[in-house]
């Protein structure tokens, strides 16, 4: 019901497992390029991510500044490559309130769908909680290194949630209910698609080719993570997956830090139907964009993407109806 696409748990699991195989293969190929080794070298992907984290360190003192710089850089990139129309935005990067820290390093807090006043959108960025050990802090920032913070900024801000929700806010719905009933599948799907879009167009966190390759690895790691999210949701709730099986999957095939994996396992136990929204939404948005490119081969990226965002945040299956595809 929550996914609103008619996919059965069995179909979802099969699609996710097939996609994870594809992503893992791509990770080995790009890790080999990054390290200058053969794709058959042992522990290749883990070593590539260890090098990225070591060469792009983050601390509690630098995390906000890095996200602020990433927001400027991604916005300039989207505008320079004419990927999507950018409305007038008031976006502020703020320190995340202590009560929300320790789960994600950042989130987007946009005006509500019925808000009429001109209010800012906040990208809240989290230093680690004050009571964390040094080891836990180090693990957190290996996961959310400076390269990954650029990927996260794409997802949470530009051209992900901040831009999409701003476009949605300008959409004039026929009823307040229509404006209020936003699809989480579409919202997360667009944000994940945005990550791939910028990497495919050559975005790099820093002025060197190595950082572009590092971001590709991080983007694929996020693909592995969102795919495993879907696998976890199905297998935890329908196949009695054990905690050790879940942690092994996340750490060995998703290349996640142990702390990140433990937190995700708890989330899988306490929720149902939300974790797959990223994978289901990404596939749906990507397929819609691909179909529009076939129908309008002479259209620019901006024309395609503006049309996808022109109807607010409907469920992808309804967006297809609006678009006539």
pLDDT per residue, tens digit, the chain (325 aa), is 578 888 899 999 999 999 999 999 999 999 999 999 999 999 999 999 999 999 999 999 999 999 999 999 999 999 999 999 999 999 999 999 988 887 778 999 999 888 888 899 999 999 998 899 999 999 999 999 999 999 999 999 999 999 999 999 888 877 878 778 899 999 999 999 999 999 999 999 999 989 999 999 999 999 999 999 999 999 999 999 999 999 999 999 999 999 889 989 999 999 999 999 999 999 999 999 999 999 999 999 999 999 999 999 999 999 999 999 9
* Total Cβ atoms within 10 A of residue 209: 10
Would residue 289 count as lying in a domain? Answer: yes
Distance CA 216, CA 276 (A): 22
Would residue 59 count as lying in a domain? Answer: yes
Query: Into how many domains does the chain fold?
Result: 1
Would residue 1 count as lying in a domain? Answer: no
Would residue 19 count as lying in a domain? Answer: yes
Distance CA 300, CA 265 (A): 41
Which residues constitute the domain of residue 286?
9-323
Would residue 2 count as lying in a domain? Answer: no
- With b meaning 16 or more CB within 10 Å and e meaning fewer, what string describes 29-44? ebbbebeeeeeeeeeb
pTM summary value: 0.96
Would residue 251 count as lying in a domain? Answer: yes
* Cβ within 8 Å of residue 157, ≥6 positions away: 71, 74, 91, 108, 123, 163
Would residue 38 count as lying in a domain? Answer: yes
Question: Could you give the angle at which helices 184-200 and 63-80 cross, rounded to 10 degrees?
Answer: 80
Length of the chain: 325
Would residue 4 count as lying in a domain? Answer: no
């Amino acid at each position: 019901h929550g996914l609103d696409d008619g996919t059965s748990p069995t179909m979802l699991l099969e699609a996710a497992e097939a996609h994870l195989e594809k992503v893992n293969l791509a990770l080995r190929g790009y890790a080999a390029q990054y390290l200058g080794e053969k794709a058959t070298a042992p522990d290749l992907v883990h070593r590539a991510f260890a090098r990225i984290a070591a060469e792009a360190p983050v601390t509690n003192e630098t995390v906000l500044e890095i996200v602020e710089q990433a927001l400027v850089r991604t916005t300039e990139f989207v505008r320079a490559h004419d990927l999507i129309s950018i409305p007038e935005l008031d976006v502020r990067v703020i320190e995340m309130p202590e009560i929300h820290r320790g789960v994600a390093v950042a989130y987007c807090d946009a005006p509500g769908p019925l808000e009429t006043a001109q209010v800012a959108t906040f990208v809240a960025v989290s230093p680690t909680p004050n009571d964390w050990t040094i080891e836990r802090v180090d693990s957190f920032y290996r996961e959310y290194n400076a390269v990954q913070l650029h990927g996260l900024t794409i997802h949470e801000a530009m051209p992900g949630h901040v831009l999409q929700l701003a476009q949605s806010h300008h959409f004039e719905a026929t009823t307040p209910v229509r404006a209020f009933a936003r699809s989480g599948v579409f919202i997360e799907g667009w944000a994940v698609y945005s990550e791939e879009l910028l990497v495919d167009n050559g975005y790099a966190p820093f002025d060197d080719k190595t950082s572009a390759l590092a971001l590709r690895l991080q983007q694929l790691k996020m693909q592995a993570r969102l795919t495993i999210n879907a696998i976890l949701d199905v297998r935890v709730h329908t196949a009695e997956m054990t905690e050790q099986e879940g942690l092994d999957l996340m750490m060995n095939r998703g290349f996640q830090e142990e702390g990140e994996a433990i937190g995700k396992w708890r989330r899988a136990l306490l929720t149902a139907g939300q974790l797959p929204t990223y994978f289901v939404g990404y596939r749906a948005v990507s397929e819609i964009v691909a179909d529009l490119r076939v129908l309008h081969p002479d259209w620019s990226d901006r024309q395609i993407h503006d049309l996808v965002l022109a109807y607010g945040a409907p469920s992808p299956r309804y967006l297809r109806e609006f678009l006539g595809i």
